[in-house]
Amino acid sequence: MTTDRTARGQVRADERTLRTQRRAVTLGSALREFVRHPTPWMIAAFLTAAVIARLVVGGWAWTDALVPVLMVVSFPLSEWLIHVFILHWRPRALGRLTLDSLLSRKHREHHRDPRDIPLIFIPWQVLCGVLPVAVVLGVFAFGRVGLGLTFMITLGALGLVYEWTHYLIHTDYKPKTALYKATWRNHRFHHYKNEHYWFTVTTSGTADRVLHTNPDPDSVEKSPTAKNLHAL
């Protein structure tokens, strides 16, 4: 009960911080910090190149509207799966080899210090591998290059939305809408109360609700490993 009150107190303290503003954080000042980091630029360059290539290729069809719809609808589930099975991967020994990706290691560091801004972003080294794979998929996996470029455009846009939302949640920017406040609060509970719940980042109560990881915070005990994943 005491630890539960401590966790809720941490979230309330963050909310008080937002009200008192340790420093004035506006969307403009948040954006200025956001663009100082490499991965938003990498994703933006990928998105811009895909848009230009799509306009050059042409050949639009109804499936160019279907692909973005399907990707947006499935994005919360994709976030959930990546968060659970990749970001929260528990290192495993295979003989003398330890299976532990850079993404998982960086995410554990992020949990240890959720206010360390560089750790909020997708590691640029990971994007150096992901973006070329996305290009290969776009060119060869869709049967039509134009449709593959539509896939890449949507992926780039979703990537920017993810990076911006995750970054903003971890700043002192004050939520001004009920939807964003719910998203902000869910992610704060993931970090400060129990890392086994609230896995979506850009939405609240979507995939988490379907997959039963969106409990009433009052019913969940504070995890002793929220800031030390797997107690490593």
Q: pLDDT (tens digit, 9 = 90+) per residue, 41-86? A: 999 999 999 999 999 999 999 999 999 999 999 999 999 999 999 9
Structural tokens at position 60: 């639009």
pLDDT band at 28 (very low <50, low <70, confident <90, very high): very high
Q: What is the pLDDT of residues 121-162, one digit of tens each?
A: 999 999 999 999 999 999 999 999 999 999 999 999 999 999
In angstroms, rounded to a whole number, what is the distance separating the alpha carbons of residues 108 and 46?
A: 27
Lowest mean pLDDT among 9-18, 61-70, 96-105, 182-191: 9-18
pLDDT of 81 reads 98
Token match 């939405």: residue?
203
Token match 């086994």: residue?
196
Structural tokens at position 160: 């920017």
Residue 228 region by backbone torsions, left for phi larger than 0, else alpha for psi between -120 and 50, else beta: beta
Structural tokens at position 96: 């003398």
Structural tokens at position 229: 């994943």
Residue 16 clears pLDDT 90, i.e. is over it:
no
In angstroms, rounded to a whole number, what is the distance separating the alpha carbons of residues 21 and 100?
A: 38
In angstroms, rounded to a whole number, what is the distance separating the alpha carbons of residues 209 and 198?
A: 9
Residue 19 clears pLDDT 60, i.e. is over it:
no
In angstroms, rounded to a whole number, what is the distance separating the alpha carbons of residues 134 and 148?
A: 9
Q: Which of 147, 191, 152, 178 is nearest to 11 (CA)?
A: 191
Give how far the C-alpha of residue 94 lies from the chain's centroid of Cα atoms, to the nearest Å. Answer: 29
Answer for the pair 210, 94: CB distance below 8 angstroms, yes or no.
Answer: no
Q: What is the rounded end-to-end Cα distance, in angstroms, of the chain?
A: 25
pLDDT of 188 reads 96
How many residues are given for the chain? 232
pLDDT band at 21 (very low <50, low <70, confident <90, very high): very low
pLDDT of 232 reads 80
In angstroms, rounded to a whole number, what is the distance separating the alpha carbons of residues 190 and 200?
A: 9
Compute CA distances 134 → 33, 67, 79, 124, 127, whole Å.
Answer: 27, 15, 17, 15, 10
pLDDT band at 2 (very low <50, low <70, confident <90, very high): low
Residue 92 clears pLDDT 60, i.e. is over it:
yes
pLDDT band at 195 (very low <50, low <70, confident <90, very high): very high
pLDDT of 14 reads 64
